[in-house]
Chain A
Amino acid sequence: MAFLEVHNLVKDFGGLRANNDISFEVERDELIGLIGPNGAGKTTLFNCISGLHTITSGEVIFDGEDITALKAHEVARRGLARTFQVYVAAGDLTVLENVMVGCFMKTRSRAGARHKAMEILEDLGIDDLSHSLVNELPVAAQKRVTMATAIGSEPKMLLLDEVAAGLNPNEIDGIMASIRHVHDHMGITVILIEHVMELVMKVSHKLIVLDYGEKIAEGDPQTVSKDPRVIKAYLGERYAKEHGGLNSVGQSEIDP
């Protein structure tokens, strides 16, 4: 039994099939990268797993429990946390208060939540920002704050949605270190949606590739990056045929 199992997940929005028959497994100690072109259905998949969307058909099993029908807050309480791609904070929460919201899931007392929040901020190296307003911070810091908030809920698994978007190379290194810290030292399983390839290739044990709502490849980063179907998804069919090893009927001519 894997830590997270997704079986034949389908998500329809009226006539549009956003996720089509997706299956994969994640082990406790893995760090998985979820990649694919824009609109492939990656965030939708996260929403399905975390309970924000009702799944049309299929199953999600987390830590031995069937969480398919659970609502978002129930999923979160079972130890599955996530961040969001687009998140603009309202005016009045400071960084510390923001993270405290996450901590309040497990802690009831204010002092306790505050203490834990400070610890997490120190861990991620942003404790000096604790009294700043979230929406006055630069993007890189904001992303760290959303990570810290999610970690506040003491998750066993964390879904990160494009935490490196819009960052410069230095900042990318910084966030990469944070991700590694979360996974290696805090023991949290991580699935990462990313477009920043250097990041995702370096940290992931395994990549899962989506295109047009379907899983088209799965495997270690090196192999997947050479998979013609993956190349086709990102660079187009013609390029894949000319340079990527895709034959005339769309099949890969490279041994996996």
Chain B
Amino acid sequence: MEAIKNALDFSDSPRIDLIVAGAIGIAIIAFPLFPHSSFAMSTMIQFLMFSLYGMGWNTIGGYGGQVDLGKAQYVGIGAYTTAVMLIRWDVPFWFSMPIGMCLSVGWSFIIGYPLFRLKGHYFAIATIATSLVLKDLFEVWDYVGASRGIEISPIEFPTPDFMRLLFRDDIYYFYVILGFFFLGILYINWFRRSRLGFQLRSIKDNEDVARSLGINVHWAKIKTYAIATAFVSMVGSFHACYVKNIEPEDTMSLDISILIALMAMLGGAGSLWGPIIGAGILIPLKSYLKEWLGAQAGLVGIDLILYAIIIMLISAFEPRGVWGIVEKFRRKRRK
């Protein structure tokens, strides 16, 4: 009970934050009522998905301070679990998604135990290594379609199908992911003020001090990693039903892992709104750049070049992201 109260308690955020967040929230909910292209709708859905990916990453990468660049493997586990269970045994999304989460979390504990003996770039590279290994395995595993992947044909199922989460119209997907989105925000709001959240902040600050206060640092990190994994896996399952066509190169590549980390970093790792801001900037940017530039003949890759330059500029000049700028500004105002 107290947990729910804590999740809904935004009293420690400045008023203006809540007003802006509320306004944006209402705008998002009302979005489908306004005239929009299907491209805009799919971009919006992607924005919500990547906000969730980013929020999940943020628990271990932002609040926890350990840069994880291997989240794509959990997108894969979530997506493939749902897809395989649907194709082979006609299992609805609402069962396959939690199962996918369990598998992902289980795997995260197995590799988490050795992983968290590492720090800094050793840790980051190790996360990449594990994700690539899993991707390579999926690429040769015939049970999941190897490199061709799995395709869910919507013709087989009557739409709209809420159990299997298969719809013809994007609008249904939009409201489902929106629901997850709000739940995600409430969860993170609870998380950052929970016992584990406080422990993480202490760990990020100074691990020896944290230990002297009775915190089992290793275990706290593993638990947080599992939470991040659960988030990512959940959205991965959704991804399978939405995109209906998954293959290792699309869902489990390093690019996806980096993109997830980037959401949170650009927006502000370690803050509640950061990942959402990051996704809000990057996803539309990426989509529209690709639309306008990527398709033009002879300019292949320009959208990615611009995207790369943005990453480089942020890393060099404002590594704390957009939210970091906001906080810097506020601190100056206070003095």
User: Is there a contact between chains A and B in the complex with CB atoms less than 8 Å apart?
Assistant: yes
Q: Which residues does A use to contact B, with CB under 8 Å?
A: 50-52, 71-73, 76-77, 81-82, 84, 87, 89-90, 92-93, 97, 100-102, 104-105, 108-111, 113, 149-150, 152-153
Interchain CB contact (< 8 A) of B213 among A52, A93, A101: A101
Q: Are B216 and A73 in contact (CB under 8 A)?
A: yes
User: Least Cβ distance of B3 to chain A in Å?
Assistant: 9
B147 at the interface (CB under 8 A from A): no
User: Least Cβ distance of A91 to chain B in Å?
Assistant: 8
Q: Are A153 and B213 in contact (CB under 8 A)?
A: yes
User: Least Cβ distance of A110 to chain B in Å?
Assistant: 6
Q: Taking CB as reference atom, which chain B residue is nearest A81?
A: B212
Residues of B within 8 A of A97 (CB): 198, 201
User: Least Cβ distance of B174 to chain A in Å?
Assistant: 34
Q: In the complex, what distance in Å separates the CA atom of A165 from the CA atom of B215?
A: 27
23 residue pairs from A and B, CB less than 8 Å apart: A52-B208, A52-B211, A71-B211, A72-B211, A73-B211, A73-B216, A76-B211, A76-B214, A84-B208, A87-B206, A87-B209, A89-B205, A100-B198, A101-B215, A102-B213, A104-B195, A104-B199, A104-B213, A105-B213, A105-B215, A110-B195, A111-B2, A152-B213
Interface string of B177-203 (1 = CB under 8 A from A): 000000000000000011100110110
User: Least Cβ distance of A11 to chain B in Å?
Assistant: 16
Which secondary structure dominates chain B's binding surface?
Answer: helix
Q: Are B213 and A149 in contact (CB under 8 A)?
A: yes
Interchain CB contact (< 8 A) of B2 among A51, A84, A110: A110
From B212, B213, B215, B217, residue with most partner A Cβ within 10 Å: B212
Q: Are A93 and B205 in contact (CB under 8 A)?
A: yes
B204 at the interface (CB under 8 A from A): yes
Residues of B within 8 A of A102 (CB): 213
- A77 touching B195 in the complex, CB below 8 Å, given contacts A72-B208, A84-B209, A93-B201: no
- A109 touching B2 in the complex, CB below 8 Å, given contacts A101-B198, A101-B199, A104-B195: yes
Q: Are A101 and B201 in contact (CB under 8 A)?
A: yes
Q: Are B193 and A77 in contact (CB under 8 A)?
A: no
B6 at the interface (CB under 8 A from A): yes
Q: Taking CB as reference atom, which chain B residue is nearest A131?
A: B12
Q: Taking CB as reference atom, which chain A residue is nearest B207?
A: A72
User: Least Cβ distance of A98 to chain B in Å?
Assistant: 8
Residues of B within 8 A of A101 (CB): 198-199, 201-202, 210, 213, 215
Q: In the complex, what distance in Å separates the CA atom of A101 from the CA atom of B197?
A: 10
Interface string of B203-233 (1 = CB under 8 A from A): 0111011111111110000000000000000
